[in-house]
Structure 1
Amino acid sequence: MMNLMRRALVIGGSGALGRSMVEIFRDSWEVTSVDLRENSSAHKNIILNELQKIDDQCESCKRELTGKYDAILCVAGGFAGGSISEPEVFSKIQHLMKLNLFPCVMAGHIATQFLAEEGLIVLTGAAACFKDTTPGIIAYALSKTATHSLALNLATRQDIPATSTVATILPEVIDTPSNRDAMPNADFSKWANPRSIAALVKMWAEGVNRPENGSFAVLKTVNGQIVPEFV
C-alpha cells in the first residue's frame, strides 16, 4: 500500500457518490471504503455484514480501524417516495433511517475515537428537505432532517476534536444512473456530478475554502461546475 500522509474513511464507498469520493481522494490520500460491497479502487475495504444490527456493524468496523483519519465522509444513502397516508409509511421510515441516518451516526460515533485534529466530517443531507416541506417523500424527509439535526449536534464538538470541522452537503439531485432511470425527462445539466462533488469535498479536506464548522452547503450546478451555497 502507498505510504500516504492523509487518510480518508468513506462510509458508503461503493455507492454512486462513494465511488467518486474514493477515486478523487485515492491519488494523494490513503482511502478506506466502508460498505456492504468492496470498492476495488480503495486502498482498504471494510465490508459490513448486511444481516447484522447497526451496533454490531459499527463495532466490527471499529475493530478494523487503525490510527487517525483526516476526513470521515458519509455518502451512503437511499430514496423512496410516498406520503404519510400510505400503509407502508412505517416500514419506509424504518428502511430510510437505516440507509440515510444510521450511516451518519456511525460516522459521528467513529469520529469520537478516530478523527484527527483539524479533521473534517462530511455528512450527506438533502436540499429539498432542508429548505421546504416535502409531504410527498415523508420517509426520506424524516431521515434527512434527522441527519441535519445530527450534524448540528456533532458541530458542538463535545465528543470530537475541538479543532475539527463538521460540514453537511445538501445536494439537490445527484447525477446517478438510478436517478436518470427514475427521471428520464429531467434536465441533467442542472444535476450535481458526483466527481465534482468529490473534488469539492477533497478541497475542503485539504484546507482549501473549508467551510466553517456546522455549515450546510446546498450544491448548485452552474455552467457544469458545483457551487456551494451556504445556508
Structure 2
Amino acid sequence: MAGRIIAITGAAGVLGRAVVEAAAAQGARLALIDHAKECPGPEGAFVQTGVDLTDPVQAGAAIAAAAERFGGLDVLLNIAGGFRWETIESGAPDTWPALYRLNVLTAVNASRAAIPHLKASAAGRIVNVGSAAALKAGLGMGAYAASKAGVHALTQALAEELKGAGVTVNAVLPSIIDTPTNRADMPDADFSTWVAPADLAAVILFLASEAARPVTGALLPVTGRV
C-alpha cells in the first residue's frame, strides 16, 4: 500500500482507527473523514472533521478536497456507519431511515464523489463494511440488518457498474467486532470469539491491495469464531 492515496470515512471510530493505523504502517497517504469533532491521525494525514456524509454536497466536497490535497485518489474505504438494537414492535419510527442514512447513504455519497478519481487511478478500489447480521437478522437487528443488506446490494451493483473501468468494489461482512461499546453491552460474552479491529482492518486493506485485483463484487464474511 506504499504511496497509495486512501480516503477513509468513519476514521475516528474504533474500526476506523485500526484501519488508519494499519494503512499508515504500510506507507499509505491518508485522507481521514469523519462526522466527529476530533479525528486523530498520523503525521501527514489530511484530516476533515464535522463532515456529514449523509449530505451529498458535504461528501462530495470532502472527497474533492482529499483528491486535491494528494493529487488523486486510489482507494475509498467506507467505514462510516451506525448501529441501533431495538425490536420492531417497540422501536422508534425514525430508526429505519436513520440507519439507512448512516449505513447506506454515507457509502453511496462518498462512492459517487470518488468514482471519477478512482477511474483515473491505475488501480481504483472501494471497500465497504457490511454485516454478517444482514445474512440472517436476529432479534432486535431488523433495521440494522436491512440497512447493511442495502450496503451489500450497493457493493454488488457498483462492482458491476465499474467492472469495465478497472475499479473493484467489495465488502467485508463482520460479525461482532471487539469494541469497548460491545464489551460494555455484552459483559458476559466470550470476547475471544469476536473479530478484533486489527484483524478486520487487515482484511479490508487486502481487498484494497494489488493482490486483490481480480476480486470484485465479493461479500466476504469476517466472523471470527462466533
Q: Which consecutive unaligned segments of at least 5 residues does structure 2 have?
A: none
Q: TM-score, normalised by structure 2?
A: 0.86
Closer/same/farther in 2, CA of residues 211 and 13 from structure 1, 3 Å limit: farther
Closer/same/farther in 2, CA of residues 53 and 183 from structure 1, 3 Å limit: closer
Shift of 1:106: 2.2
Higher helix proportion (structure 1 or 2): 2
Structure 2: distance between partners of 1:211 and 1:103: 26
1:4-153 equivalence runs, <5 A: 5-27=3-25, 28-37=27-36, 38-42=38-42, 43-50=45-52, 54-65=55-66, 66=68, 67-86=71-90, 88=92, 90-115=93-118, 116-130=121-135, 132-134=136-138, 136-153=140-157
**One-letter amino acid matched to 1:86:** S
Shift of 1:209: 4.8
**One-letter amino acid matched to 1:195:** A
Closer/same/farther in 2, CA of residues 204 and 154 from structure 1, 3 Å limit: same
Q: Which consecutive unaligned segments of at least 5 residues does structure 1 have?
A: 223-231
Shift of 1:210: 5.4
Shift of 1:57: 1.7
- Do the aligned partners of 1:48 and 1:57 also contact (CA within 8 Å) in 2? no
Closer/same/farther in 2, CA of residues 193 and 91 from structure 1, 3 Å limit: same
Q: How many residues align?
A: 215
> Once the two structures are aligned, what percentage of the paired residues are identical?
31
**One-letter amino acid matched to 1:16:** V
Structure 1: distance between partners of 2:133 and 2:217: 19
Higher strand proportion (structure 1 or 2): 1
SS across alignment from 1:142: helix
Counterpart of 2:189 in structure 1 is 186
Structure 2: distance between partners of 1:210 and 1:186: 37
**One-letter amino acid matched to 1:41:** G
